[in-house]
Amino acid sequence: MKDALTARPVGKLPDKVRLKGRILFLTEDAGLVRQQLEGQDLEWRPEQKLRDDISTDEITPAYICYYFDDTLGEFPYLGLKCGTEFPITKGSVKRGGYVASVSGKRRGKGSSREQSPYAEMCAGIKLVIAENIERIYRENCQNLGVLTTTDFSIIEKVRRGDELPLSAFTAGEGEITRGIIEYGGLFNYNVARLQGKVAPAAPTTPRRPMTLGEKILARHWVVDLAHGTVGVPAVKPGDEGFVGTDIRFSHEYVTPMAAIFFEQLVGQSGKVNDPGSVLFFRDHLTFLAEAMTPERVKEGLLDVANQLEVKQREFAVAQGIKLYGELRLGVHGAEAICHSKILEAHALPGQVIIGSDSHTPHAGAVGCVAFGVGTTAIFNSWITKDVRVKVPETVKVVVRGTKPDNVTAKDFMLEILRHPYIKSGQAIGKLVEYCGEAVETLSVDERATMTNMTAEVGGFTGYVAPDEKTVEYLMAYRGLSQAEAERLCAGLASDPGAEYCEVLEFDASRLKPMVALPGDPGNGLLIGELADRVKVGIAYAGSCTAGKKADMDMYARVLQEAVDRGDRVAPWVKFFIQCGSQDVKRYCAERGYLDVFSRVGATFLEPSCGACINAGPGVSRTKEEVTISAINRNFPGRSGPGQLYLANPYTVAASAIAGYITEWEPGRVLTT
């Protein structure tokens, strides 16, 4: 494979580019968006409010990601919500002749799906302009060759058809990001690396006190790809380079597109580098047939989605890669959700892990640097076994005190997410270190809820330094001896004097159970602050974030009280409990939880991402339907068209019994 790539012609882009085409302004006013799609160019003024917080769920809704080729160009922005309307229709962007797309703050938040910038690119978009841009989405754009900027003065230059210096998009970037942009994408840049045309300089940062995240990155820093030289004494924020990975994983939404890139660019006979450290998962769409609407089935989308499984399975067999697949023919469900299994069976303290999902930081609960990347980065890692990074600054989140019994890690995160520093996007792309006595008392499962939801913070990754609870976890889950577990955890702590760009402090004793109002996880309120009593139609207890053993303990605690009182799920509520892995299901069976769930009228589901990505039981069907859910995000359309509230596992179970969003307190009778 290396010989074939070293002979491949590769060169830089011209120093100047001219972008010919129209500019699409994604405004909050659906009428203005429609006018543009109908052919009228908008003379945009700052008072015409641009849409903020455009998530990748809105750029390419989950069902659009069943496609994994240039057909995606028909679909960008189909989920874009402007007020109460969805003004963009299939093919309208591509027909409009747009070369640039403009929006407000936090462009590309949410899922790491590279289908989003790829759909934009295939529709003709070559430039994305926004006030600030989320890390993974921005890197995906750069990896594909789509230009990005936060400089709004470029709008008029594009409108006039001026030549733009490529330096306008590389200014302020590090050596590697600049090189990727100049070579027109990550693959060409990596070919240039293999050919010796570029050799990123190793950081010359002198020894300094480092945060745990910085330490792990320094230990994995690739100094010389050709000779396998790894590790530098120290790194600091802003240092840019490549780090070697211990684990690389992807799921069926991403693997097929990456496989096509691999086969087209490397060749059908190419072999993945170290396939033993690569894992594939069939976990997102195993319940899709139960969730897809008849209209979409008639459109052929179920058949399209099933091809994702076929392509991933065939590529896994050809490459000798372990695939955690479906249970068996005719039975919905999977062996495990990727994040659940990575934490349970693979992640170790001090590792670098990359995955094709924004919630990859889940594994940071055991003190590793785990972060989500896009399809192109995954595909390139199959060649080089490394991934590019720019060392982020670190935010320290300290949660002190003793939490109330009915407060959980989910409440910690909903409180953190509504903090002005987080809501304003200042944590985007940063390492997030969770610490404090309230965090230290959490189980590894509960710590995983926090690190998982670093994706909602917008952070690069989140982690908790390993301690005696980590040692106990490794002994229980991996069968390690105490000495071996302690050895793995040794030295994995931030140094005294390590630098943090911000320290956020919270008092757990002052927290109460929270909900996030529909639309964004940052819309947190105390349950007692809800203006009206909210009637629930669906309660969903599951996903990677809330399908762990600790979560099942919480659901069972509430529901056992209901069983003891003779109560059941409210007649108008559909209650689904979905575990994260077969290990968790066995745990539930051993403790009698499955019987408890059944006796109250809950439906227990085999592992799968399911309703969390609008692909399984628990999705809403109408705009008015209300769901209370323990998942991690509630962006528009994320789990159906309805009103999705986020809450902790106790609240979800209590609300299912009461029929209304209800704060649970031990021993309190839940009334409908």
Asked whether residue 194 carries a pLDDT value surpassing 90, the answer given is: no
Write out pLDDT tens, residues 439-484: 999 999 999 999 999 999 999 999 999 999 999 999 999 999 999 9
The DSSP annotation for 127-140 comes to: EEE-SSB-HHHHHH
515-658 fold = Aconitase; domain 3 (3.30.499)
Q: CB burial class (10 A; 0-12, 13-18, 19+) of residue 151? A: exposed
Long-range Cβ contact pairs of 192-199 (< 8 A, separation 24 or more): 192/10, 193/225, 193/384, 194/2, 194/5, 194/6, 194/225, 194/226, 194/384, 195/5, 195/6, 195/8, 195/10, 196/226, 197/10, 199/224
Q: What is the pLDDT of residue 330?
A: 62
Q: What is the pLDDT of residue 224?
A: 84
Element (H, E) at 369: strand 369-372
Write out pLDDT tens, residues 501-526: 999 999 999 999 999 999 999 999 99
Give me the sign of the Cα torsion angle 415, 532, 646, 651: positive
Query: For residues 439 and 465, what is the distance between their CA atoms, to the nearest angstrom?
Result: 10
Q: What is the pLDDT of residue 195?
A: 86
- Spatial neighbors of 298 by CB under 8 A, at least 6 apart, are none
Write out pLDDT tens, residues 26-56: 999 999 999 999 999 999 998 999 999 999 9
| pLDDT band at residue 1 under the 50/70/90 scheme | low
**Arithmetic mean of pLDDT, 531-557:** 96
| pLDDT band at residue 619 under the 50/70/90 scheme | very high
Give me the sign of the Cα torsion angle 658, 660, 664, 668: negative
Question: What residue segments make up the domains of the chain, in order of their start?
Answer: 20-160, 248-341, 515-658
Q: What is the pLDDT of residue 587?
A: 98
Q: What is the pLDDT of residue 538?
A: 98
Q: What is the pLDDT of residue 112?
A: 77
> HSE of 178 in the Cβ direction (CA atoms, 13 Å)?
13
Asked whether residue 100 carries a pLDDT value surpassing 60, the answer given is: yes
- Using CA atoms, how far residue 191 sits from 183, 185, 197, 641, in Å, is 10, 10, 9, 44
State what percent of residues in the chain have pLDDT above 70: 99
For the record, the structure tokens of 375 come out as 């399809």
Query: For residues 202 and 222, what is the distance between their CA atoms, to the nearest angstrom?
Result: 8
Q: What is the pLDDT of residue 638?
A: 87
Q: What is the pLDDT of residue 136?
A: 84
- Spatial neighbors of 300 by CB under 8 A, at least 6 apart, are none
- Spatial neighbors of 45 by CB under 8 A, at least 6 apart, are none
Domain 515-658 in the same topology as domain 20-160: no
Residue bearing tokens 């956020």:
504
Residue 560 burial (CB count, 10 A): 15
**Arithmetic mean of pLDDT, 351-356:** 97
Output the 3-class SS for 17-30: EECCCEEEECECCH
Lowest-confidence segment of 500-504, 566-570, 603-607, 636-640 by average pLDDT: 636-640
**pLDDT, averaged across the chain:** 94
Give me the sign of the Cα torsion angle 356, 360, 366, 368: positive
Give me the sign of the Cα torsion angle 556, 561, 563, 564: positive
Q: What is the pLDDT of residue 210?
A: 98
Asked whether residue 615 carries a pLDDT value surpassing 90, the answer given is: no
**Arithmetic mean of pLDDT, 124-147:** 94
| pLDDT band at residue 530 under the 50/70/90 scheme | very high
User: Phi-psi region for residue 185, left (φ > 0), alpha (ψ -120 to 50) or beta?
Assistant: left
Please list the alpha-helical segments (H only) found in 145-276: 154-160, 167-170, 175-182, 186-194, 212-219, 255-265
Lowest-confidence segment of 251-260, 345-354, 588-597 by average pLDDT: 251-260
Taking a C-beta distance cutoff of 8 angstroms, is the pair 118, 137 a contact?
no
Q: What is the pLDDT of residue 288?
A: 85
Kindly report the pTM of this predicted structure: 0.87
Give me the sign of the Cα torsion angle 520, 521, 523, 525: positive
**Arithmetic mean of pLDDT, 67-73:** 90
Taking a C-beta distance cutoff of 8 angstroms, is the pair 636, 620 a contact?
no
The DSSP annotation for 40-109 comes to: PPP---TTSPBPP--BHHHHS-GGGGG--SGGGGG-TTTT--BTTB----TTHHHHTTEEEEE--SSBTB
Q: What is the pLDDT of residue 487?
A: 97
User: Phi-psi region for residue 184, left (φ > 0), alpha (ψ -120 to 50) or beta?
Assistant: left
Q: What is the pLDDT of residue 245?
A: 98
- Using CA atoms, how far residue 151 sits from 101, 140, 154, in Å, is 13, 19, 6
Asked whether residue 667 carries a pLDDT value surpassing 80, the answer given is: no
336 secondary structure, DSSP code = B
The DSSP annotation for 453-492 comes to: THHHHT-SEEE----HHHHHHHHHHH---HHHHHHHHTT-
Q: What is the pLDDT of residue 160?
A: 94
Q: What is the pLDDT of residue 636?
A: 85
Options 3.40.50.11540, 3.40.50.150, 3.90.79.10, 3.20.19.10; CATH for 20-160 is: 3.20.19.10
Write out pLDDT tens, residues 207-265: 999 999 999 999 999 998 877 889 999 999 999 999 999 999 999 989 999 999 999 88
